[in-house]
Amino acid sequence: MKIPLKEYTHYSENDLVQACREVQAGARSMFYRRYAERILVLCLRYSGNREDAQELLTDVFVAAFERLHRFEYRGEGSVSAWLSRLAVNHCLMYLRKRKLQFEVLKEEHELYTGEDAAALAQLGAKELMALIHTLPQGYRTVFNLFVFEEMSHKEIAALLDISENTSKTQLHKARHFLQKQLMQEKKNVL
């Protein structure tokens, strides 16, 4: 079934995927426009700068179009989830190539809760993203995987080839860093 270009936004994910598989005129462009902003934000969270994020975005969509024939549709939202997973994997490969450094401490740390969680929860999306961009790369990577991808420290450790304790330390330090940034911003506002 051919879908007229002007009507792509009104069709389901599955119809749009099918149109891309059939290489219908304009389908890939609409696919890109439908998902690019969300994936760019994800890439920005990991890379920390717009230039690298845009390069990663391009790589993700090239890979997506190459692998679209293997994608298995599992209901509304599955395309977005698949693209997000693909983007996280590309971002992690990018970070590995850049030899991401993690600070390793032997001691156990308690994770921040209470005031820290409440203060972060009160931030808007743009404010939170701006603070996340200030995190050092190792902190930011673990923070993203733990908070946004909802991975356990065991999963993060296996994915990044670090110890669980290193993952915990990076998250602890990321939260501490964010807390200091929040306190600094409060002082600047007052």
Q: For the whole model, what pTM was predicted?
A: 0.76
d(CA 98, CA 89): 14
At 100 the pLDDT is: 66
When the pLDDT of each residue in the chain is averaged and rounded to a whole number, the result is: 83
Dihedral angle computed from the Cα positions of residues 130, 136, 139 and 145, in that order, rounded to the nearest 10 degrees:
50
* Structure confidence by residue, pLDDT tens digits, 92-125: 999 888 876 665 544 444 444 455 555 555 667 7
* Structure confidence by residue, pLDDT tens digits, 126-183: 777 888 888 888 999 999 999 999 999 999 999 888 899 999 999 999 998 888 888 7
Q: Which fold does the domain 115-189 belong to in CATH?
A: Arc Repressor Mutant, subunit A (1.10.10)
d(CA 9, CA 34): 8
Helices (H), the chain: 13-21, 27-47, 50-67, 78-97, 115-121, 125-134, 137-143, 153-160, 164-189
What is the domain partition of the chain in residue ranges?
5-97, 115-189
Q: Which fold does the domain 5-97 belong to in CATH?
A: Rna Polymerase Sigma Factor; Chain: A (1.10.1740)
Token representation of residue 40: 């760019």
